Amino acid sequence: MSSAANRMKLSEAILALIEQKRAETADPFLGEDVESFLIDAQFIELANEILQNTGALDPWILHRRKGDN
């Protein structure tokens, strides 16, 4: 299993624990910052993987030149 897949599984487990604790404490905001961080990190990682290996999406992706930010 790739390290990206391992990180996704770990994030999934952490998010499940956050949901469980929210239900136990009746606090819908518990772990909100951690949840946002994990979801944002997963989107960034997915976007980077798509840009590195565009495959069938290649015709629809605007490529940035190296050095462009």
The answer to whether residue 21 scores a pLDDT higher than 90 is yes
60 near 67, Cβ under 8 Å? Answer: no
DSSP letter, residue 60? G
Give the model confidence (pLDDT) of 22-46 as tens digits.
Answer: 999 999 999 999 999 999 999 998 8
Average pLDDT estimate for 61-67 = 65
The verdict on residue 68 lying in a domain is no
The answer to whether residue 68 scores a pLDDT higher than 60 is no
Measuring CA to CA, which residue among 1, 16, 69, 10 is closest to residue 41? 10
Instruction: Quote the domain boundaries for residue 26.
Output: 3-60
The verdict on residue 53 lying in a domain is yes
31 near 22, Cβ under 8 Å? Answer: yes
| pLDDT > 70 in the chain, percent | 87
Total-model pTM: 0.71
Number of domains in the chain: 1
Which residues in 8-32 are b (16+ Cβ under 10 Å) and which e? beebeeebeebeeebeeeeeeeebe
